[in-house]
Amino acid sequence: MASKKTRTVKVGNVLVGGGNPVRVQSMTNTDTSKFLETFTQVEELIGAGCEIVRLSVPDEKSLISFLKIQSKVDVPLVADIHFNGKLALNCIERGCAGVRINPGNIGRKELVEKMVSAAKKSGTALRIGVNSGSLEKELLKKYSRPTAEALAESALNWSAFFEKQKFKNFKVSIKSSDINTMVKANVLFAKKSNAPLHIGLTEAGTLVSGLIRSTLGLGELLKKGIGDTIRISLSSNPVNEVTAAIELLKALGLRKGVEVFACPTCARTQIDVISIAEQLEREFSHVTVPLKVAVMGCIVNGPGEAKEADIGLAGGKDKVAIFVNGKIVKMVSPKNAYNELSKEIKKNG
């Protein structure tokens, strides 16, 4: 699928838009002021394949911790700031890789102008965040509620405001908890601007419901070629957001990697399919070698399905067959199934 051509934005050492791969983002859910706890979670997100990590920075203590973490990791960090324009300006002046603001809740435009001027000097990337919950009063009055048209107009107005100051190192996010509103608003914006878009559904929900809603909305936009960075927002461990985003990009053919297919399990299952499949996804989630891996739990459909994959296994009561390119390469015990399958993936990947 062809992506809509957007301009390139530099967030730290990561290029966004301009034909670069769709970047995976997530956000920590720890208290940023608590350095060790937050640093540990950032490391976990990076290990899962996260390419840009956002942290809430509500006060000076959190900013100090943020800057300390930023100095210790290779992935760019984005400071998320609301209402406190002076703190956002401080972040920019102290060299944060990225700062996300909702200009609509910062207050005075003069303060936003200062942020843009400072970002031009520091090289900080800015993200214009437009949410249905923080739309400007005049637009709410004009449209009576946060419609897709209202959200798109807000984003276009702020983009023009930034560009008027000859600043283009920014991306835009337009979010709503309503799938159709979010999709339509991003489509309207993309028709009129070449600014990179970060797409996501705000307040998506818990692990299952959030995954379903986010996949519907983000999948629709990505199929249209819209979206330069994504976040699947979940009320869950943020590592799950990263894994889900990567899997979505693989499913749409926007990212190469190891795809794990597993049988749904039934009474015929002879091995722990669920555990093996989940371990494989964790271990190989951000490996970029394209491989289809099948984990099958019985001898009925297992051998046939495993043969169709690049690498697979079919479980029996006492023995597990490991397939590579349609042929059995070894028979192993169930307790060694995962390790042997992992070895074959690494050997052929």
pLDDT in tens, 197-236: 999 988 767 899 999 999 999 999 999 999 999 999 999 9
Q: Assign residue 291 the CATH number of its domain.
A: 3.30.413.10
Q: What is the model's pLDDT at position 269?
A: 81
286 and 242, same domain (yes or no): no
For residue range 287-335, list pLDDT tens digits in order: 888 999 999 887 777 788 888 899 999 987 788 999 999 999 999 998 8
The chain-wide mean pLDDT, for the chain, equals 92
- 4 part of a folded domain: no
* Last residue in a domain, options 232, 251, 270: 251
- 72-78: average pLDDT: 97
Q: Which residue has the tokens 């283009």?
A: 168
* Minimum mean pLDDT range among 32-46, 48-62, 308-322: 308-322
20 and 139, same domain (yes or no): yes
> Using the 8-state DSSP alphabet, how is residue 254 labeled?
S
pLDDT band at 132 (very low <50, low <70, confident <90, very high): confident
Question: What 3-state DSSP class applies to 38?
Answer: helix
% residues pLDDT > 70 (the chain): 98
- 114-122: average pLDDT: 95
36 and 181, same domain (yes or no): yes
* Last residue in a domain, options 220, 251, 282: 251
Q: Are strands 320-324 and 311-315 parallel, antiparallel or unpaired?
A: antiparallel
Q: What is the model's pLDDT at position 177?
A: 87
296 and 272, same domain (yes or no): yes
Q: What is the model's pLDDT at position 1?
A: 59
Q: What is the model's pLDDT at position 204?
A: 67
266 and 153, same domain (yes or no): no
194 and 283, same domain (yes or no): no
Q: What is the model's pLDDT at position 29?
A: 95
Helix, strand, coil % in the chain, rounded to nearest 5: 45, 20, 35
Q: Are strands 320-324 and 327-332 parallel, antiparallel or unpaired?
A: antiparallel
Q: Are strands 14-16 and 9-11 parallel, antiparallel or unpaired?
A: antiparallel
Task: Name all contacts of 301-304 with Cβ < 8 Å and 24+ positions apart.
Answer: 301/263, 302/263
Structural domain total, the chain: 2
What domain range is 182 assigned to?
9-251
Indicate if the pLDDT at residue 2 is higher than 70. Answer: no
262 and 279, same domain (yes or no): yes
Q: Are strands 320-324 and 14-16 parallel, antiparallel or unpaired?
A: unpaired
CB 330 within 8 A of CB 316: no
Indicate if the pLDDT at residue 180 is higher than 80. Answer: yes
247 and 270, same domain (yes or no): no
226 and 296, same domain (yes or no): no
Q: Around Cβ 164, how many Cβ atoms within 10 Å?
A: 10
Task: Name all contacts of 131-136 with Cβ < 8 Å and 24+ positions apart.
Answer: 131/102, 131/175, 131/176, 131/202, 132/175, 132/176, 132/177, 132/178, 132/181, 132/202, 133/202, 134/82, 134/102, 134/104, 134/105, 135/104, 136/104
pTM equals 0.90
215 and 246, same domain (yes or no): yes
234 and 275, same domain (yes or no): no
- 158 part of a folded domain: yes
